[in-house]
Amino acid sequence: MSPDLRSPLAVVCHDAGACNVILPWLRRPDLSLRPVMDGPAARLFRGRFGAAAPAGSGHALEAALDGAAMLLSGTGWASDLEHRARRLARERGLFSAAVIDHWINYPMRFERDGETVWPDEFWVTDEGARAIAERCFPGAVVRCFDNLYLRAEAAEIAPPTAPAQVLYVLEPMRSDWGRGVPGEFQALDHFMDQRVAAGMPAAAPIRLRPHPSDPPGKYDAWIVAQRGRGASGGADVSLDRHATLAGAIGVSTWVVGCESFALVVALAAGRRVCTSLPPWAPPCRLPHAGIVRLGAADRVDA
């Protein structure tokens, strides 16, 4: 089931996750859009509609909400754009719905500088997310709608090709777990230590797919360091060059990451999926059966 969107629709996004979920819902020809997009969402919107959306200035938000029938916003962490839009909608008495595209950090998505702004409705895309939202936002209206993006991505992914290849989907962890090294690099090192024990061939190429928020070159030094790792002359590690996530998963037998949404896409496409969170990190919060934790007793190929 897709949501019943009210037109004219003010739609405000910054991060890629919620924008990917929202864009397929906007295909209705009768829907008049008032988009405001920044960050990765701006690129995604331009790719879907062939034109740029206004950037997230205060004037752009005011113009988008003027005369709108509702606000639909993402819930990213990398900006306050969506938060400002929800605050403005509340001040105007405009109906507001916010899309939660993941399964972690729900309350903090709606907090900025000590201010909490809830939408009128929280929208999620599976029952696991609904249960989390209902627990985090007691008494709030939580609705569940079809994730057309996930369905389309999984349908585009071809069966894996030979020889075996590993796709590692990166994401900033925003914690060093008390060890003085960014968590994403600790997880990468843990993956390298555990991948063979998990059933991955030592010679399998490893392709790293950076997160949309990662700066260019972030992982270059780590990749170079892998060339001297081990007695056999190091691992075959490089950046993934596919234009789409579906293309990257399509040539991969295994998909590894911490808590990325890409793991859920890979699982839906029938790939062997594992989380690389090390034992000293918190458990993976993705509620999906079939995601194996590296270093656990289970093997990825079991």
The yes/no answer on whether domain 154-293 falls in CATH 3.40.50 is: yes
pLDDT at position 297 over 80:
no
Going from N- to C-terminal start, the domains of the chain cover 9-146, 154-293
Mean model confidence pLDDT for the chain? 91
The SS3 assignment for 274 reads strand
Q: Per-residue confidence at 67, pLDDT binned at 50, 70, 90? A: very high
Average pLDDT over residues 110-131: 96
Q: Are strands 206-209 and 291-293 parallel, antiparallel or unpaired?
A: unpaired
User: How far is CA 21 from its chain centroid?
Assistant: 10
- Distance of alpha carbon 11 from alpha carbon 73, whole angstroms: 6
162, with CB counted inside 10 A (0-12, 13-18, 19+), is exposed
Q: What percent of the chain has pLDDT over 70?
A: 95
Question: Which one, of 98, 109, 128, 99, lies nearest residue 286 by Cα?
Answer: 128
Average the pLDDT over 198-225 and give the result.
Answer: 93
Spatial separation of the C-alpha atoms in residues 281 and 290, rounded to whole Å: 20
User: Do the bridges between strand 115-116 and strand 111-112 make them parallel or antiparallel, or are there none, so unpaired?
Assistant: antiparallel
pLDDT of residue 288: 86
Look at residue 29 and tell me whether its pLDDT is greater than 90. Answer: no
Query: Which H helix or E strand runs over 96?
Result: strand 96-99
Question: In this structure, what DSSP letter does residue 294 have?
Answer: T
Residue ranges in the chain assigned as alpha helix (H) = 16-22, 39-49, 58-65, 81-92, 127-136, 148-156, 183-194, 220-226, 245-250, 261-268
Closest CA to 276 of 289, 295, 262: 295
How large is the average pLDDT for residues 143-150?
94
Fold: same for 9-146 and 154-293:
yes
Q: What does the alpha-carbon distance between residue 135 and residue 57 come to, in Å, rounded to a whole number?
A: 33
Q: What is the pLDDT of residue 153?
A: 87
For 242, phi and psi rounded to 5 degrees? -70, 145
Nearest residue to 89 via CA among 37, 11, 164, 166: 11
Q: What is the pLDDT of residues 243-291, one digit of tens each?
A: 989 999 999 999 999 999 899 999 999 999 999 999 999 999 888 889 9
Q: What is the CATH number of domain 9-146?
A: 3.40.50.2000
The fraction of the chain above a pLDDT of 90, given in percent, is 75
59-73, 176-190, 214-228: segment of lowest average pLDDT: 214-228
Burial (0-12, 13-18, 19+ Cβ within 10 Å), 223: middle
Examine the pLDDT at 130 and tell me if it is beyond 90. Answer: yes
CA 58, 63, 67, 72 torsion: positive or negative?
negative
In this prediction, residue 302 carries a pLDDT of 39
Q: Is residue 298 pLDDT above 90, yes or no?
A: no
pTM of the model as a whole = 0.78
Residue 230 has pLDDT above 70, yes or no: no
- Rounded to an integer, the average pLDDT of 18-34 is 93
Q: What Å distances lie between residue 52 and 43, 79, 266, CA to CA?
A: 8, 19, 30
